[in-house]
Amino acid sequence: MDDSVARPKALKFKEPVVDVAFSPAANLVASSLITGHVFVHRYAVEGNQRQTRGRPHKKSCRSLCFSGDGSLLYTASKDRSWQAMDVETGAEKMRVAGAHEKPLNIVKYVNEQIIATGDEAGCVKLWDVRKNKPAFSYSEHVDYISDMVSHEPKRHLLVTSGDGCLSVYDVRKAKPFQVSANQDDELLSVAVIRNGTKVVVGETDGVMGIFNYGQFGDITDRFPGHPQSIDSICKLTEDMCVTGSSDGLLRIVQLFPHKLIGVAGDHQALPAEKVVLSHDQQWLASCSHDHTVHFWDIGYIYAGESESDNNDEANDEKESDLDAQAVAIRISKGIDDPGDDDSEVDIDGCSDASELKPSGKVIDAASSSGDGNDSGGDSNNDSSSSSSSSDGEEEVDIDSSKSDADDGWGSWGDSDDDAPAKDKKPLSKSEQLTAKRKARVELARPSEKQKRTGRSAFFAGL
């Protein structure tokens, strides 16, 4: 939260603000008051301008929302009515009086033909706006309806209630799609995240409960941390949202992995009743008990994501260029590309292809150990060598340039060309196995290899 950033001035009213909503198509914000009044303002950093003002309800206007194109504003009231008004003129387009038996808590735009409403007793109704009549009515909840969100790809409406349950409705069917188990706490807010694979709900004890989409029986994950209730959840990205809590803070929360990113706004210990995001993803608006609608800058979140994406693309291009340069250099020097080699890694961790390609010549273990003559070995540390094995196994000669009398470990150190061949006694099989174990230890410490000056030094500790 940066107070130095220029932002629209807060909207102050004479009475408490109950709900706030942004237009999805223009720089308009609507506010509803406890007196039943509804205001629509055009907001800007340079200054705000009131566009319409009216009192469509005799009692508190508890909820409002814009239509998909932003031309209509729907409101719901404690007087059990809901209505639609023209945003430009403020004229009433339609009204449904006595819509529920109990006072309404929320109204939600689903699509051009369907409006959803919920009341204090837990009743949910889907209205066909073409007929001004309810298409379906649901009574799965036994306590007030706290929040709703529409998931258009599946034509689902997700509803939270004070009875601790999440219900999901297919807007084309008369029966609920699924109702969750009681979470032993009031559910106050809901949002769909992670490209429609997760649903997050806010609870009164400050816990964010997470459902797998389609598996609404019970939550699969929990993210505690808020000291008080989570009254509102506003989705920012697929893995990030802003929560409005009773302690007055607007927290930016990342999910998967779960962590607190920062604070977007502060209502100075007054409950943050509602938080919403503007259509251009530049501003948050929130309301509390201070009779004020506040604006908060949130554009840096999206600017950071765009910069991160650009950096990733630039890094990928840079790595691709470096790879191309490396290939060109290798080709110019006549070096084969190791990525095209069918080399393998043996049990000792060697990855030199020249040491692993057999010549096809098989040497009997007994004849190898029985002959005491040595060709002197290869004085090159990188020369190929054969590996000795236990009784009953065959050795594969992987260097056709060596004699059959090689014990298989001559390439580890430089051969001692100054020592007479007659002084080199053959090793027994047990000594060969011991040497192999020692060599494996030495392979784990490549620096020791440089200290070996000859074959006699290599076997000096045996």
Q: Name the token pair of 58.
A: 């005799």
Count how many Cα atoms sit within 13 Å of the Cα of residue 184 in the half-sphere of its side chain.
Answer: 3
Calculate the alpha carbon distances from 213 to 210, 216, 219 in Å. Answer: 9, 7, 10
Is the pLDDT at 447 greater than 70, yes or no?
no
CA dist 74 and 7 (Å) reads 27
| 186 sits in which H/E element | none
Amino acid at 197: T
Is the pLDDT at 352 greater than 50, yes or no?
no
Residue 315 has a pLDDT of 56
Beta bridge partners of 119: 104
CB of 81 closer than 8 Å to CB of 42? no
CA dist 343 and 330 (Å) reads 18
Long-range contacts of 386-393 (CB under 8 A, 24+ apart): 387/436, 388/432, 388/433, 388/435, 388/436, 389/365, 390/429, 390/433, 391/365, 391/429, 393/365
Whether pTM > 0.75 for this model: the answer is no
pLDDT 10s digits, 72-111: 999 999 999 999 999 999 999 999 999 999 999 999 999 9
CB of 231 closer than 8 Å to CB of 271? yes
CA dist 328 and 394 (Å) reads 42
* Confidence band for 438, pLDDT divided at 50, 70 and 90: confident
Q: Name the token pair of 83.
A: 């209505």
Residue 360 has a pLDDT of 41
pLDDT 10s digits, 150-199: 999 999 999 999 999 999 999 999 999 999 999 999 999 999 999 999 99
